[in-house]
């Protein structure tokens, strides 16, 4: 598959998605979101893909925000449609049943921060800067930033980043729980690949159900979340991978999971 604004490669169980508009710091326009939707559907439906890694082309940015030239032309109706379309694509990334690792290699601002928030795990280069600067343009986050940031880092952090529009460093992002780990720039992608390979070694259905328990359960009251967890645990107990995993443990050997 060939795209204008994305690089897409599948290798060794990993789907690599690279935002590729380095001249504009990988800013998101409608075309890029449409292409992203296509590759996410492809990765979701490809049984050989186990983990996604998202990053940005060049050394300066993951995604530095929206394409301002395109944004400036929005009408109220068009702006809402543009927001909803982006939200739907972001939600697909979040709920496709396959874990995603965001390797933030530079600026992750506005839409870029929001795309990172949709990933299962975020790691960042020491040179990364993150933020939601939309108020500086007279708008608010439109791809879920106000909602996911509050859920991930708490209302205080969400209010500070969304109301001031200021950027924070990778180290500060790690401190507030926005990113999991911080690496030297040259170590970022290898670290993402190492983490992806650790996930690929595990039982595919267990990974999928674990993600579902977290993603769905976090929005539920505790009792309902516990019920969901118990139900998914029961489903795992019906799988061949569960029998293989427990047998391999007892036999002191590596498990060979098949995803069934």
Phi, psi of 8 (to 5 degrees): -135, 120
The pLDDT-based confidence of 35 (bands split at 50, 70, 90) is very high
| pTM of model > 0.85 | yes
18, two tokens: 């690279």
Active site residue 114: yes
Kindly name the residue from 35, 114, 193, 229 that is annotated as catalytic.
114
42, two tokens: 């492809």
Active site residue 134: yes
Neighbour count for residue 141 (Cβ, 10 Å): 23
pLDDT tens digits along 202-214:
999 999 999 999 9
CA distance 27 to 56: 10
Kindly name the residue from 134, 184, 215, 229 that is annotated as catalytic.
134
106, two tokens: 């530079």
Q: 90: which residues sit within 8 A by CB, 6+ positions away?
A: 114, 115, 118, 143, 144
Q: What is the average per-residue pLDDT within 132-146?
A: 94
Q: Interior CA angle at 41 toward 21 and 53, to 5°?
A: 55
**Residues 166 and 128: beta-carbon distance below 8 Å:** no
């Amino acid at each position: 598959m060939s795209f204008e604004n994305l690089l897409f490669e599948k290798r060794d169980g990993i789907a690599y998605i690279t935002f590729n508009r380095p001249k504009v710091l990988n800013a998101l326009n409608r075309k890029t979101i449409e292409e992203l939707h296509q590759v996410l559907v492809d990765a979701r439906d490809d049984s050989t893909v186990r983990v996604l890694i998202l990053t940005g082309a060049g050394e300066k940015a993951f995604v530095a925000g929206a394409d301002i030239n395109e944004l400036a032309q929005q009408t109220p109706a068009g702006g809402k449609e543009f927001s909803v379309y982006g939200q739907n694509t972001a939600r697909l990334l979040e709920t496709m049943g396959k874990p995603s690792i965001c390797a933030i290699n530079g600026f992750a601002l506005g839409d870029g921060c929001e795309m990172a928030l949709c990933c299962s795990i975020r790691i960042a280069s020491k040179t990364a800067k993150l933020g939601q600067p939309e108020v500086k343009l007279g708008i608010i986050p439109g791809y879920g930033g106000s909602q996911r940031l509050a859920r991930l880092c708490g209302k205080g952090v969400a209010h500070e980043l969304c109301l001031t529009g200021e950027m924070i460093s990778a180290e500060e992002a790690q401190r507030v729980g926005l990113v999991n780990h911080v690496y030297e720039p040259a170590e970022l992608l290898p670290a993402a690949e190492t983490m992806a390979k650790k996930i690929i070694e595990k039982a595919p259905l267990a990974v999928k159900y674990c993600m579902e328990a977290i993603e769905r359960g976090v929005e539920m009251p505790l009792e309902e979340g516990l019920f969901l967890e118990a139900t998914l645990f029961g489903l795992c107990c019906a799988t061949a991978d569960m029998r293989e995993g427990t047998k391999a443990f007892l036999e002191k050997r590596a498990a060979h999971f098949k995803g069934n």
